[in-house]
Structure 1
Amino acid sequence: MTSIDRLSGLSPLAPTTTAASTDARGAAIETMGEIGHRVLAWVDAASRGNGSGAQAWSRTAGNGSGFAPDMGELARRGDVYGLSELTSELSARFGGSPAQEGELRRALDDFTRQAVVQIAGMSGAPGDQQVGGVRAALEGAANTDAPAGLDGVIARFEAATADLSAQNRG
């Protein structure tokens, strides 16, 4: 049994309310969940997937924001995942400094890149397996001992990225 198989039966990690989390743990989980939705939307659009990964991810992370891939943004080589918006919103929510906002953006970029490798690499697998590795990283980040505030959000993203990076190399 792999860690992907082991994790498929866990209950959702998403906050149960629709209000934005004001604690570092909740905000990190919520944002990682949204990034997962966005990555899956692009992977499904590119691979003409059946959406089973997206369905499995919704069971893990709750419903997403309704993000839809924008081929025009892709053609412009723009911010196809909307990470600038997520970064700005989190920074404002926690009163982050410009330096913290830059660190957060780097952490979101790194996490997204590793999530794309993980999810796209498993795009032909059943939904629970496709999102299992990202779910494991999300669970690990949720349990990471991290400071409060924006630094805690950044630390959780870095922990999740390290987990995904190790999975992607193995």
Structure 2
Amino acid sequence: MTSIDRLSGLSPLSPTGPAGGADARGAAIETMGEIGHRVLAWVDTASRGNGGGAQAWSQTAGNGSGFAPDLGELARRGDVYGLGELTSDLAARFGGSPAQEGALRRALDDFTRQAVVQIAGLSGAGGDQQVSGVRAALDGASRADAPAGLDGVIARFEAATATLAVQNRS
């Protein structure tokens, strides 16, 4: 894929799954990409969408982990997006403290909530329009000035969440 084929300035994320490597920027962006895949999977399942948003998102975020919505988990009111696993993986990778792990989980929850509002609100729109706001948040988070380590991952999630929150109020 060339940059002309893409709408985003970011190169596609690695298809190896979330948080590859110890780089806070890369870990945050990859995890945001994976969360986007998971949100789109649920939105497509709930709205019987055509998958246009998922295709457009793949152009930005690369391939996801193969996550599939689990209606049983939804019925149990469990962790339908698998954020607990993503949080634990990132905290372990960066050697985060329990306090940092809690802050990270809240940051992932907040980002996911705003992404759901953004993506589900545009579920009838074309794929590029459906993911444009999340793509802008991802681009902003990639450029955010953030510290290294797990605190940097958290800061990037908070920046992306703030971007989405402003868009969702518009």
Task: Specify if TM > 0.5.
Answer: yes
CA contact under 8 A between 2:115 and 2:134: conserved in structure 1? yes
Offset of residue 21 of structure 1 = 2.6
Instruction: Tell me what 1:9 maps to.
Output: 7
Instruction: Say whether 1:140 aligns with 2:134.
Output: no
CA contact under 8 A between 1:91 and 1:101: conserved in structure 2? yes
For the residue of structure 2 that corresponds to 1:21, the secondary structure is: coil
Offset of residue 22 of structure 1 = 1.3
For the residue of structure 1 that corresponds to 2:96, the secondary structure is: coil
Instruction: Say whether 1:89 aligns with 2:86.
Output: no
**Alignment: residue pair count:** 163
Between 86-95 and 18-27, report the one with greater CA deviation: 18-27
Instruction: Tell me what 2:76 maps to.
Output: 76
Instruction: Say whether 1:123 aligns with 2:144.
Output: no
What is the letter of the counterpart of residue 64 of structure 2?
G
CA contact under 8 A between 1:94 and 1:150: conserved in structure 2? yes
CA contact under 8 A between 1:14 and 1:29: conserved in structure 2? no
> What's the CA shift string for 1:101-146, capped at 9, x where partnerless?
0000000000000000000001011100000000000000000000
The structure 1 segments of at least 4 consecutive aligned residues displaced by more than 6 Å after TM superposition are none
What is the letter of the counterpart of residue 162 of structure 2?
A
Instruction: Tell me what 1:153 maps to.
Output: 153
> What's the CA shift string for 1:144-167, capped at 9, x where partnerless?
000000000000000000000000
Offset of residue 10 of structure 1 = 2.3
**RMSD of the alignment, in Å?**
1.3
CA contact under 8 A between 2:104 and 2:154: conserved in structure 1? yes
What is the letter of the counterpart of residue 16 of structure 2?
T
Cα distance in 2 for residues equivalent to 1:133 and 1:60: 12
Cα distance in 2 for residues equivalent to 1:17 and 1:43: 21
Instruction: Tell me what 2:58 maps to.
Output: 58
Flag structure 1 segments of 5+ consecutive residues without an equivalent. 1-7
Instruction: Tell me what 1:106 maps to.
Output: 106
TM-score (norm 2): 0.93
Cα distance in 1 for residues equivalent to 2:80 and 2:37: 13
CA contact under 8 A between 1:13 and 1:139: conserved in structure 2? no
What is the letter of the counterpart of residue 111 of structure 1?
F
Instruction: Tell me what 1:4 maps to.
Output: none
Cα distance in 1 for residues equivalent to 2:16 and 2:9: 18
Cα distance in 2 for residues equivalent to 1:165 and 1:10: 20
Flag structure 2 segments of 5+ consecutive residues without an equivalent. 1-5
CA contact under 8 A between 1:56 and 1:128: conserved in structure 2? yes
> What's the CA shift string for 1:61-114, capped at 9, x where partnerless?
000000000000000000000000000000000000000000000000000000
> What's the CA shift string for 1:19-67, capped at 9, x where partnerless?
7131000000000000000000000000000000000000000000000
